[in-house]
Structure 1
Amino acid sequence: MYRMLIVDDEEIITDGLADIFGKLNLDLDIYKAYSGQEALELLNRTRVDVVLSDICMPGMDGLELMETIRLNWPQCKIVFLTGHNDFNYVYQAIQEPDVQYVLKNEGYPKLIAAVERALKELEEALRANDLIRRSKEQLDTLETLAHGDYFRNLLFHDVLFERELEEDFRRLQIPLDASMPILIGLGSVTSGGSVERSPTYVDRRETALAVKFLAEAFLAERTSSIGFIDRYGDLIWLIQPKRWSGSEWTDAFAQTVMFLEGTFELVQQSCLESLDASVAVTLCGEAFAWEGLPAMYDKMRRYQHDRTGDGTRMVQKVFPSEESAPSATILNRSLRDKFEALAVHLEAGRREEFMGLFDDLTEPAAYEHERGDPNMTELCYTVALVLLSYINRWEIREIGSFGLMKLEDYRSWREAFGYLKGVADVLFSLRKSGEQKRAAGVIEKICSFIEQNLSEDLSLVRLADEFHFNPSYLSRLFKQERGVNLSDYMDELRIRKAKELLKREELKIAEVGGLIGYEMPQSFTRFFKKWTGLTPQEYRTVRLSRDGAQ
């Protein structure tokens, strides 16, 4: 879903336009701002795709606002709406790319058409056919392979000294600064695939690399980045802002985190439309030093595993300073490839691939070998260790693990492997139910937060900041768990609260509005009448007369 911000210093125009566009079937989340400064505050907190703004406003005008938009959100489309006929304003506006200009007296159809045109341009950009074509041409480049091997090594070993990193970066033509901290992003790619078969290793690799290059095309304007695939088939991005100076690097990294959160939402949408692939993204919320790379990577993998819900189109943030459970133990790299593949499938939650490989390894052995065969003993206990490692690493208490080391008690290999397959099936089911329980728990916390802060800013952006999710994912998760839109839930809660407060005669109508988050009495009156058919004063009069009659 795209986000549109409406900006005008006249409240009646802003609210009226929001109502008009809210009734259209344009797949838009609509935000409002009553000044350029208020719009700027929102743009510094979240991505906006279309800005519909008055060009002539007191304080910060539309053209000044446009400069900030161009800096922070280069993909954003701008539609200027004004009755101002000063040629200089018009000339400056039309010189900019992705900017449209509509006069207020041209009417709503012209304005709606301009917004629809902006949305169409966004959709065409997200399809990114040219980006996909160019990405596939680079799939097997030596540079890509070299970068991947190098950084996979850094993830599992102590990071080199700064001067050694600098030399390596120079020789491998890595566009990152070894003297500055970094940000890391972790992306888990799920391909839609075909109905006839599950995606193969090559399918998944090609999809992951296409996602890598597509994302880097989006990131290139604001950042320097390197993307590669880790041992589990997930994508890793190491990222730095392109521009900073002296002591300002802290601000540059903070702004880059905001840019990444919004941009990866666009990447997710483009991946769905262009590649039929979904990407769950975990971002580091703060910059950290290179020597912290292995520990931060392990921490982010844990957060990715313990994600809330199914993770589809999720962008969550992890902070290096936050306490977390102990880092996941890295799997023993001496295992043969087939056992490591089992571990990778279990780790990634790929039930079908795990079970298919499990059957390939164990079904022939279960019937063709004698009970005391030492090779079969090694095979059986190695598979058991894969399961036991997963149980211990993620501290799964719902299933007993003692039987995994007592496989000699079974009368045949068939029974032993049947037991192991049953354990694996339970682990996959527990993972799915854990995602659902965490989703329900987060939604309960969100509802409690809303009830306790009804008089404050409860915009989707504020809630997303509070709970460390991107706005789109939070909105979808709430609808999925509660069956209603988050905005409708808050409106119903505000109406119930307003009705309770209106019973208290000592409270003025304006005070009641303020207690449920409406600073402007007119806005509260419009909201209340829309839901009840009565103004607040009319409702109070009717209610008090009814109570008096009783």
Structure 2
Amino acid sequence: MYRLLIVDDEPIIVDGLIDFFSDLQGFPELELYWAYSSHEALACLRSTRIDIVLSDIEMPEMNGLALQKEINQRWPRCKVIFLTGYNDFDYIHSSSRNGATDYVLKTEGDAQILKAVRKAIEALDSQLALERLIRNAETRLTQALPLMQREFWMDLLNGTEVLKDKEEVQAQLQELQIPLKADEPLLMILGRVDAWKEEMGQSDKMLFLYAVHNIAEEYLQDAFRIVHIKYRQDRFVWLLQFKQPSEVTTGDERSAWPIHQINGYMELIQASCSSYLNTPCSFMTVSEPFDWDQIAQRFDTLSFLFARGLGTRQEVLLSDQQLFEAIQEGHDGRAKIRTAQLLSDFLEKGQRTEFMALFDQFMGTVDGASFSGTGTAVEIFYAMVSMFITYINRWALMKEVSDRFNISKLFSIEEHATWREATASFRQLADMLFDMKSDESEQQTNEVIRNVQDYIKRNLDRDLSLTRLAESVYLSPSYLSKLYKQETGLSLTDYIVDHRVQKAKELLIGSEQKIHKIGRAVGFESAAYFARCFKKMTGQTPQEFRDGVRRS
């Protein structure tokens, strides 16, 4: 919905145009504003976004051309249509030079005014056309590309990105200008700066990391395609793919040869970092190529290596094979933590379907009929308990949940005879929490609708513009308009007019005020507009209604 502001120092023209646009059928819906001077128009423009201004040029104190300059400063996308009794080339030239959309003589009538407003609407629509938005986005892609690439890789490393088929992954790689292939396996190297020099600031550290990447490329770029990903201040990942197929044909030898080559290069890279940059670095490598859907698992494994045993020392160079069996249990734990975090995210966002699908998979890793006292079961059970308790405490739901659910079932795994029973209990609690979230959203929506309607009833004779109503409930105008229509099936304009007419009926019956004063008392600026709305709602003019009541 666009907003139209009508400005003229002659009230009869403003009121007539308001009536004209209010009664239009089959025309794009407009939110109407009006002003009887340029200063009133400026007051409106300071508080409200206006899309189209239909303004007289010749006005006292500030003419339309001066107003146009103010409009251009505040709302550059606003379309200005000048309505004037002067057919003067200088006016046309000046207004066009300042960006006016059109110029209409008052003698040309309503049809020409309507044509000019329609033209302005079409111009606004074209500015928002999808093709234009896409073109603008493409011009900014280069600036945003590093951030988009990092977000893509971090989603894969953390396991939050669900990989699609290889063709879709390849299309995404090309879009992000990543020089890897989705149908070829990967190699991974994790790097760590073991100690920064004390005098190094943030920019120095960033430059140092670039230097490390440059050293790696010097040694690796002839044989490998390589991508760098910084995921912490002192940690980074290199993902590699071998450029040319190996001459070795047997499976085991073919996968081992590039790994041996990488290990040899890593010794040189580590030595160069120490020699040329005078800073110790450690590296962890995978022991074999892996598929794209294993990125998060391999990242967890190498990260775990840095956190224990030899990985805690400086200038280490290890592969996952050296400690694979020792860290397998730790990796499984990381996977469980990541799954619990995803479940927590789905719960927070109200994504019931996604939550339940992952929940069934997570809980299904333990035999449902067995007693739930195994190590894996205990770990999963208390991971779920921690997630639920955190959510319940964050939203202060403990009392409400306790009234509807046996909360003691969360305190001990011994409360459940079988794993299937524990799973059913968790599912019941999850369903309850999702229902509460849905009920809360509906309750908040109902409260917004009720508050808006109460405000309208209390202020029928005052400003009831969409902007003012939105301010009263702390929402944006466009969102309030959409929300109200979705929830009630009526537009806010229809609701306001209906209540103004109902209030006018009461005053027509219970008072002797003149009809035009009653119209103003309930918010109709124009007597003619009041009469039209009243007749549209009741089938009678205000006078006919009053006379009919008195005769009965």
Question: TM-score normalized by structure 2?
Answer: 0.60
- Is the 2:49–2:75 contact (alpha carbons within 8 Å) kept by the matching residues of 1? yes
- Is the 1:498–1:513 contact (alpha carbons within 8 Å) kept by the matching residues of 2? yes
Query: Who is 2:537 aligned against?
Result: 531
Query: Who is 1:336 aligned against?
Result: 337
User: Is the counterpart of residue 542 in structure 1 residue 548 in structure 2?
Assistant: yes
AA aligned to 1:7 is V
Query: Who is 2:78 aligned against?
Result: 76
- Is the 1:53–1:80 contact (alpha carbons within 8 Å) kept by the matching residues of 2? yes
What percent of counterpart residues are identical? Answer: 40
Between the aligned partners of 1:413 and 1:427, the Cα distance in structure 2 is 21
- Is the 1:33–1:39 contact (alpha carbons within 8 Å) kept by the matching residues of 2? yes
Between the aligned partners of 1:496 and 1:476, the Cα distance in structure 2 is 25
Comparing 472-481 and 511-520, the one that deviates more: 511-520
Query: Who is 2:473 aligned against?
Result: 467
Query: Who is 1:500 aligned against?
Result: 506
| 1:480-499 equivalent positions in 2, closer than 5 A | 480-499=486-505
Query: Who is 1:444 aligned against?
Result: 450
CA separation of 1:456 and 1:410: change in aligned 2, threshold 3 A: same
Q: CA deviation at 1:382?
A: 0.8
Q: CA deviation at 1:403?
A: 2.7
CA separation of 1:144 and 1:113: change in aligned 2, threshold 3 A: farther
CA separation of 1:360 and 1:69: change in aligned 2, threshold 3 A: farther
1:35 to 34, 37, 48: 37
Between the aligned partners of 1:136 and 1:358, the Cα distance in structure 2 is 37
AA aligned to 2:137 is I
Structure 1 segments unaligned to the other structure (5+ residues): 150-195, 208-332
Query: Who is 1:56 aligned against?
Result: 58
Q: CA deviation at 1:33?
A: 2.7
AA aligned to 2:134 is N
1:376-427: CA deviation from partner (whole Å, max 9, x where unpaired): 2111111121122111111224323443223432122222123212322222
Q: CA deviation at 1:483?
A: 2.6
1:46 to 31, 45, 48: 48
Query: Who is 2:96 aligned against?
Result: 94
State the secondary structure of the residue aligned to 2:58. coil
CA separation of 1:507 and 1:114: change in aligned 2, threshold 3 A: closer
State the secondary structure of the residue aligned to 2:364. helix
CA separation of 1:510 and 1:112: change in aligned 2, threshold 3 A: closer
Q: CA deviation at 1:93?
A: 0.9
Query: Who is 2:8 aligned against?
Result: 8
RMSD of Structure 2 on Structure 1 (CA): 3.4
Query: Who is 2:416 aligned against?
Result: 410
- Is the 2:452–2:472 contact (alpha carbons within 8 Å) kept by the matching residues of 1? no
- Is the 1:6–1:14 contact (alpha carbons within 8 Å) kept by the matching residues of 2? yes
| 1:292-441 equivalent positions in 2, closer than 5 A | 336-367=337-368, 371-396=372-397, 397-400=399-402, 401-441=407-447
Between the aligned partners of 1:486 and 1:514, the Cα distance in structure 2 is 19
Between the aligned partners of 2:144 and 2:342, the Cα distance in structure 1 is 22
CA separation of 1:74 and 1:110: change in aligned 2, threshold 3 A: same
Query: Who is 1:306 aligned against?
Result: none
CA separation of 1:357 and 1:115: change in aligned 2, threshold 3 A: same
Between the aligned partners of 1:365 and 1:70, the Cα distance in structure 2 is 66
1:452-472: CA deviation from partner (whole Å, max 9, x where unpaired): 222222222221122211222
- Is the 1:464–1:471 contact (alpha carbons within 8 Å) kept by the matching residues of 2? yes
Q: CA deviation at 1:505?
A: 4.4
Between the aligned partners of 2:91 and 2:350, the Cα distance in structure 1 is 55
| 1:88-237 equivalent positions in 2, closer than 5 A | 88-97=90-99, 99-126=101-128, 127=130, 128-141=133-146
State the secondary structure of the residue aligned to 2:53. strand
CA separation of 1:135 and 1:378: change in aligned 2, threshold 3 A: farther
Between the aligned partners of 2:414 and 2:143, the Cα distance in structure 1 is 51
State the secondary structure of the residue aligned to 1:56. coil
AA aligned to 2:498 is E
1:225-250: CA deviation from partner (whole Å, max 9, x where unpaired): xxxxxxxxxxxxxxxxxxxxxxxxxx
Between the aligned partners of 2:340 and 2:27, the Cα distance in structure 1 is 50
- Is the 2:19–2:529 contact (alpha carbons within 8 Å) kept by the matching residues of 1? no
Q: CA deviation at 1:343?
A: 1.6
Between the aligned partners of 1:395 and 1:42, the Cα distance in structure 2 is 42
Structure 2 segments unaligned to the other structure (5+ residues): 155-164, 177-333
State the secondary structure of the residue aligned to 1:484. coil
AA aligned to 1:130 is R
Question: TM-score normalized by structure 1?
Answer: 0.60
AA aligned to 2:67 is L
CA separation of 1:23 and 1:8: change in aligned 2, threshold 3 A: farther
- Is the 1:366–1:417 contact (alpha carbons within 8 Å) kept by the matching residues of 2? no
1:96-133: CA deviation from partner (whole Å, max 9, x where unpaired): 34632233334444433333332233223222121232
User: Is the counterpart of residue 65 in structure 1 residue 67 in structure 2?
Assistant: yes
CA separation of 1:86 and 1:423: change in aligned 2, threshold 3 A: same
AA aligned to 2:419 is W
AA aligned to 1:3 is R
AA aligned to 1:422 is Q
Between the aligned partners of 2:363 and 2:429, the Cα distance in structure 1 is 15
State the secondary structure of the residue aligned to 1:365. coil
AA aligned to 1:124 is S
Comparing 513-522 and 348-357, the one that deviates more: 513-522
Q: CA deviation at 1:335?
A: 8.6
- Is the 1:50–1:76 contact (alpha carbons within 8 Å) kept by the matching residues of 2? yes
Between the aligned partners of 1:107 and 1:515, the Cα distance in structure 2 is 31
- Is the 2:337–2:383 contact (alpha carbons within 8 Å) kept by the matching residues of 1? no
- Is the 1:369–1:376 contact (alpha carbons within 8 Å) kept by the matching residues of 2? no
AA aligned to 1:101 is Y
State the secondary structure of the residue aligned to 2:61. coil
Q: CA deviation at 1:43?
A: 1.6
State the secondary structure of the residue aligned to 1:418. helix
Query: Who is 1:453 aligned against?
Result: 459
Q: CA deviation at 1:545?
A: 2.4
State the secondary structure of the residue aligned to 1:25. coil
Between the aligned partners of 1:51 and 1:60, the Cα distance in structure 2 is 15
Q: CA deviation at 1:141?
A: 1.4
Between the aligned partners of 2:417 and 2:482, the Cα distance in structure 1 is 50
Q: CA deviation at 1:95?
A: 0.8
